[in-house]
Structure 1
Amino acid sequence: MVLSGVSRDYRQGKETVHALRPTDLEIRSGELVGILGPSGSGKSTLLTVMGGLRTPTTGTVEIGGDPFSALPEKKRAQLRRQYLGFVLQSSGLVPFLTLADQFTLHDRVLRRAPATERRNELLDTLGISDRVHAYPSQLSGGEKQRAAIAVAVYHDPKVILADEPTAALDSRRAHDVAQLLAQQTHELGKATVMVTHDERILPVCDRVMVMHDGVLGARERADSP
């Protein structure tokens, strides 16, 4: 994934808010990039622009050499379902479907055969294999987040965009989730971006960047002070 001169502005009354200043960024296959920053710094705006949920004011987003951000919305939505996996702060699970049915829905949307073995492996890794027939309302906050991660990576996306994936988890589960994202990234050649406040999981990142007032900058080491 390559961002070239990407920015995002919006109007607030008579004022123009520069939520994301012009940004150049390349996320390589097999690389997990962590992005730190305070609330309101532009991290979520960056993530939604990268995922094609918002159109950049300037610049372009490319995935696999294709001008993703310049495509018509219908085509962009099609590629988003096929090539991107989203892990959001709110789980994004469909409330009236069991966890098993969430995976089935993905299979039907993508018109592919069920990958039950992969589903079970993901749920087992995240410690929720016994919750496969539960509805989201029957899951704890931490279980919902782990379920959302399993669903997001189930269809083997090329790019994973994670917004605070460990926010509702204790230290052990946060480590498990971070390790799963790192494994998916490194072993399967994903390009992964993880927005987080959780410095416990930064050691799994290959690169850490910091965002402040819409400006993205490099941080030399994931474990630097």
Structure 2
Amino acid sequence: MRHDAHLHTDAPTAAAMALSGVSRDYHQGREIVHALRSTDLEIHGGELVGILGPSGSGKSTLLTVMGGLRTPTTGTVEIDGSPFSALPEKKRAQLRRRCLGFVLQGSGLVPFLTLADQFALHDRVLRRAPATERRDELLAMLGIGERVRAYPSQMSGGEKQRAAIAVAVYHDPKVILADEPTAALDSHRAHDVAQLLAQQTHELGKATVMVTHDERILPVCDRVMVMHDGVLNDQGRYEPP
């Protein structure tokens, strides 16, 4: 199901996230490794972008730069038209906590906290009152409302990934960054998790980037890009083989 209505409006709006001339180099002995070459990219609210590529192609480097975990060697990253990558680390971390949601391979949930406590941790970090009603609505939407008191070890792989999605969007971020969210799942669960990410993207108007090597989940993407040797190429709309 396509959601083009989210991508085309009469009045142009600032991209939820925009990269302009972004590159990232590393020093390896006397050599310089160009992990990410000059990249321009805009992602808008309601758009799910899949980035495909083999290990070592630069996908993870791209995601860490987009997430403000690393600064680019050249170029800039903006969120909603405002500087992000150029900010001092403390301000960048504050903006990252408010505006970005992360979905990681293996869920990234804190193992010794119940699902309810994972949300409470976000509230404490952001110094805000608990939004219990929103939490419960998200969990119900994702079909795991009854697991709110469960620990990660008590959940199935699919439940943990759904929980990770709920936690990632709980604080209403503008951008969701998903790093191999289906890598440890079988085909059925991978499809379900990808569909849920697409649903959250489109229904809540998030801008989502999903880095993956899993071609099974590309049909849920609005746009597919391929990375090879640090170069990102836009493949446009996904077309099944």
- TM-score, normalised via structure 2 length: 0.87
Equivalent residues in 2 for 1:60-71, closer than 5 Å: 60-71=76-87
Equivalent residues in 2 for 1:76-115, closer than 5 Å: 76-115=92-131
On the 8 A contact 1:23/1:215 being kept in 2, the answer is yes
In the TM superposition, residue 224 of structure 1 has moved relative to its aligned partner by: 4.1
- When the two structures are aligned, how many residues end up with a matched partner? 225
- Who is 2:70 aligned against? 54
- Who is 2:9 aligned against? none
Residue 3 (str. 1) matches residue 19 (str. 2)? yes
Counterpart code for 1:103: F
Counterpart code for 1:100: A
Once residues 187 and 74 of structure 1 are traced to their aligned partners in structure 2, the CA distance between those partners, rounded to angstroms, is: 32
* 1:149 alignment partner, one of 147, 159, 165: 165
- TM-score, normalised via structure 1 length: 0.93
Q: CA RMSD in A?
A: 1.7
Long gaps (5+) in structure 1: none
* 1:25 alignment partner, one of 13, 22, 41: 41
In terms of mean alpha carbon deviation, does 188-197 or 55-64 score higher? 188-197
Once residues 178 and 125 of structure 1 are traced to their aligned partners in structure 2, the CA distance between those partners, rounded to angstroms, is: 15
Residue 132 (str. 1) matches residue 148 (str. 2)? yes
Residue 221 (str. 1) matches residue 211 (str. 2)? no
Once residues 57 and 139 of structure 1 are traced to their aligned partners in structure 2, the CA distance between those partners, rounded to angstroms, is: 40
Long gaps (5+) in structure 2: 1-16
Once residues 149 and 165 of structure 1 are traced to their aligned partners in structure 2, the CA distance between those partners, rounded to angstroms, is: 9
On the 8 A contact 2:175/2:207 being kept in 1, the answer is yes
Once residues 37 and 7 of structure 1 are traced to their aligned partners in structure 2, the CA distance between those partners, rounded to angstroms, is: 17
Counterpart code for 1:158: K
**Secondary structure class of the residue paired with 1:55:** coil
**Secondary structure class of the residue paired with 1:162:** strand
